[in-house]
Structure 1
Amino acid sequence: MTINRDLVKGLSLLAIALFFGLQANSYPLGTLGRAGPGMFPLVVSALLFLVGSAIVVRTRIVRGDRLEFKARNIALVAAGLLSFVLLSGYVNMLVGLTVMVLISSYAASDFKLSRALALSAVLACVALAMKLGLGLQLPLY
């Protein structure tokens, strides 16, 4: 029996959406005019649930690719995440982001250094905008 890769993606998104949506209910939602701390995760979870549902429904219509587990790619992504955590804590977050993207991007079959560096730069800009624009306490530098 083959497992449809898109079906697994859709079900994973549904599970994540349900998990965070249920967690959001433990915080006050507030109103649309004055949102509480639970509003943002609830809205994002609802949108993620819709995307996951659409993917699951699409698997009933379009034949998808077979799911394959590649231990090398799983290990690379896990190493990227671990490097982000360690480098963000001991060096700074910009170095952690860059190393995470470089390691994780290497798991792609069409790895390009220029694309990985561009993605790192975009993520760094987003993190900087969140620090400066929203006042988040991120250890960027």
Structure 2
Amino acid sequence: MKIKSQRDFVAGLMFILVGIGFAFGATNYSMGNSARPGPGYFPLLLSVILAILGCVVLFKSLTIETEGGDPIGAIAWRPLLITVASIIVYGVLQPRLGLFIAVPVLIVMVSFAGDEFKWIGVLASAVVLTVFSWAVFVYGLNLTIPLWPTIFGQ
């Protein structure tokens, strides 16, 4: 069997492996049922969907011909490292500085990974995503997430 698209082949394998890995991780939580899903229900469902999507992409890579085999290019290290570092910094800052400071710091940091950095767009994104995060997680889901640094109280 000949691989007709290297990019799709590797992407399909990655989706399948990540989906299987998260499916196994989700089994550590209670599943519940469709009427009353437990904490492991949604992650398991998403991981199965991801693995199925990976199978579709993998099948496509083996059946649909692409020009030149669609080779994998060089790894974009700078955006990859900036994105990973931004997520780590967010994880460290969020419990200490709160949602209203950590999310904008995350957005500004990760914006440096792209080639088209414009402050007005970055600041607008930071405001919109911070308000959206508060609306979904604090207001909508009633999660106990610190909003401000602990020196300002809750």
Q: Same fold (TM over 0.5)?
A: yes
**Cα offset for 1:75?**
2.5
Amino acid aligned to 1:10: G
- For residues 91 and 127 of structure 1, the distance between their equivalents in structure 2, rounded to whole angstroms, comes to 15
**Contact 1:76-1:103 at 8 Å conserved across structures:** yes
Provide TM-score, normalisation by structure 2.
0.72
Aligned to 1:16: 18
User: CA RMSD, aligned part only?
Assistant: 2.5
Change (3 A) 1:45 1:119: farther
Alignment of 1:1-141 (within 5 A): 4-60=6-62, 61=64, 62=66, 63-64=69-70, 66-129=72-135, 130-141=137-148
**Cα offset for 1:65?**
5.2
Amino acid aligned to 1:99: V
Unaligned runs of 5+ in 2: 149-154
- For residues 29 and 91 of structure 2, the distance between their equivalents in structure 1, rounded to whole angstroms, comes to 27
Q: Percent identical across equivalent pairs?
A: 27
Unaligned runs of 5+ in 1: none
**Cα offset for 1:72?**
2.3
Amino acid aligned to 1:93: L
Q: Helix, strand or coil for the counterpart of 2:20?
A: helix
Provide TM-score, normalisation by structure 1.
0.78
- For residues 4 and 139 of structure 1, the distance between their equivalents in structure 2, rounded to whole angstroms, comes to 44
**Contact 1:94-1:140 at 8 Å conserved across structures:** yes
Q: Helix, strand or coil for the counterpart of 1:50?
A: helix
Q: Helix, strand or coil for the counterpart of 1:33?
A: coil
Change (3 A) 1:75 1:28: closer
**Cα offset for 1:40?**
1.1
**Cα offset for 1:108?**
2.0
Change (3 A) 1:125 1:4: farther
1:70-118 C-alpha deviation (Å, 9 max, x unpaired): 3322321232122212321321223222222222222123344444334
**Cα offset for 1:121?**
3.2
Whose Rg is larger?
Answer: 2
Amino acid aligned to 2:95: G
